[in-house]
A and B are shown apart, each in its own frame.
With several copies, the nearest count.
Chain A
Amino acid sequence: SERELTSASMVAEKPQRDRVRMSLPLSVAAGPAVIAHAEGFFADEGIDFEIMRLDANSALLGVASGSLDVFTNPVRSGIFNMIARGTRIQIVADGTHSTAGPCVPEGFTAPPALARRVKAKGLRGQRLATIKGGSTEYLMTRLLASQGLTTADVEMVEYPAGESSTGEFRVLDAVRFNFEPSLTVQREKGLIEMVATAQDVAPGYQRIVIGFGKRLLDDDPELGRRFMRGWLKGVRRYNEGKTEGNVSILSNFTQLPPDLIRKTCWPSISADGMINLDGVRHMLEWMHQAGYLETEIPEAVWWNPDFAVTAARELGDESRAVE
């Protein structure tokens, strides 16, 4: 009720609220923003928040051309190449990353028979599905490297995989990257087993990041800070876990049934907004070797922790308490 009062008074003083548009996937990974929106954290900051469901490329170009303010994107070469070419965008906070724990939201899976074979004898000679250029290719090379193999040692299956995938319906007789919610659904039905989690292959794997464009970085950084406060408040509420409130908000947003939302593993999101810098550096190195990066750019150009640091400081210690 205190919040309602503040928001009411803010509306009274400042009827003109600033609109912020953010691209989000239709999944639990959108949690912090969706929760912050539903709980009024953004409204508290005088932000008229708008969620856009967009593919990763549209999100980046949307921010670059100014019709979108915040992008959600997997870590991939396109972000860095755009920055290198002078597009004013920066990564400002963690989207999701892997952590050790019993509940695994992403990893390599295979149908049971194949999974058992792989676990017993390794990947050599087995079928592996991937697609070039994305962050899953990075994970796949890590997976192969962990067994001392290269792509030449396995049978590559051309199939949609990773973040581009729309259809989890097809059960592919190959090792492939998989994530929620199909991970839970398919495991429940006994269609797949986990071969290796992302955390096994790349500890702290930085899967998703969020970033700002020129408007929030330069034109109105104050709005950027307000957004970040709202976002981090959302992260903290998200990190409270599968509470009634969170489950119902996410169920509403994703249109997935509440019990499925409860059953799936929720990816980790850091409460202070910090990304796994070492992990990203390693990915950049790999991208460079693979020829996906046009030029190397200094870290300070693509990573801007200031918004998150400021917001976390202003929000005080309660964030850390939860983590």
Chain B
Amino acid sequence: MKREQLIDRAIAAGIALLLFGWWEVASRSGWISTLAFPPPSRIIANFGVLWDQGFLQKVGYTLGRFAAGAVIGAVPAILLGLLVGSRVRLNRIIDPFIAAMHPIPKIVLFPLFIVIFGVSDVSKLASIALTVFFPAFINSAAGARSISPLYFEVVRNYGGRRRQAFWYVLLPGSAPMILTGIRIAANVGLLVTIAIEFTMTSNGIGSIIWLAWQTMKTEDLYAGVVTLSVIGVLINSTIRYILRQVMPWQAAG
């Protein structure tokens, strides 16, 4: 098992190297536009330059915004999702509202947030939180619905009250779907954070990408993109780690 995992990691790394290698060659030899797709080596070298300009601090701004918004959105989403998902009638009443609010574009309606929350950072966090809310809610509710009623019977049988059923059944039983929802929500939230930073802030990865566009510094652009990818991979590993701890019998790699 252990060895197989190492081999698979190596295969993934190999594929990544191959892709980047091909990109490097294709860019250097001019098959693909060097402007649009600068060779990876140059992107990496450029990281050094950015580093000296406080790159890490800018990433920190993005992460701070993202984390705050994500937590504000995800925690109530999970709790409400589990509650609604575990009660058929509540679900029937609440679900249409969720369905109606989900497709309302948060970025496009950002100015309305300004009216409600003012021009402060609260408006930005609210958009991120609201974006994170929906996938987390929907998957949590579906997770709650997927739990066999037998398990709730078991807890009631041994004198467990509703609050206890939450900790003993609802939360562990829907953990895989909650975590899958969190994974999607985190990524969507990250995307919205970047979109907000694009036009609404003068710091963070989003503004790096925006500036890079303005000045056609594609290495900077890819620095932003690579950073986002790394964040994405870290989010995902964390979630898989938690999943392995919580659901030992369903751990896939």
Contact = CB atoms under 8 A, between A and B. Distances in A.
In-complex A–B contact (CB below 8 Å): yes
Interface of A: 21, 23, 26, 52-55, 57-58, 60-62, 64-65, 67-68, 76-79, 81-82, 85, 87, 131-134, 156-160, 164-170, 172-174, 181-182, 185-186, 189, 253-256, 260, 292-294
Given A65-B36, A67-B119, A170-B110, A182 B202 contact: no
Interface centre among B33, B118, B202, B216, by most chain A C-beta atoms within 10 angstroms, is B216
A173 B119 contact: yes
B250 interface: no
Given A21-B119, A61-B114, A256 B214 contact: yes
Given A77-B216, A81-B217, A58 B211 contact: no
Interface centre among B110, B207, B210, B213, by most chain A C-beta atoms within 10 angstroms, is B213
Interface band, chain B: 20 to 34
Contacts of A68: 114, 119
A189 to B, nearest CB: 7
A189 B215 CA distance: 11
Given A53-B202, A168-B214, A182-B213, 7 more contacts: A52-B119, A55-B200, A76-B215, A81-B217, A132-B207, A132-B210, A253-B202
A160 B215 contact: no
Contacts of A173: 119
Contacts of B107: 166-167
User: Which secondary structure dominates chain B's binding surface?
Assistant: helix
A286 B88 CA distance: 57
Given A57-B213, A65-B36, A189-B35, A166 B198 contact: yes
Contact of B114 (A65, A77, A131, A134): A65
Cβ-closest 6 pairs across A and B: A133-B214, A67-B118, A78-B216, A160-B199, A57-B111, A169-B213
A61 B112 contact: yes
Nearest to A23: B119
B170 to A, nearest CB: 40
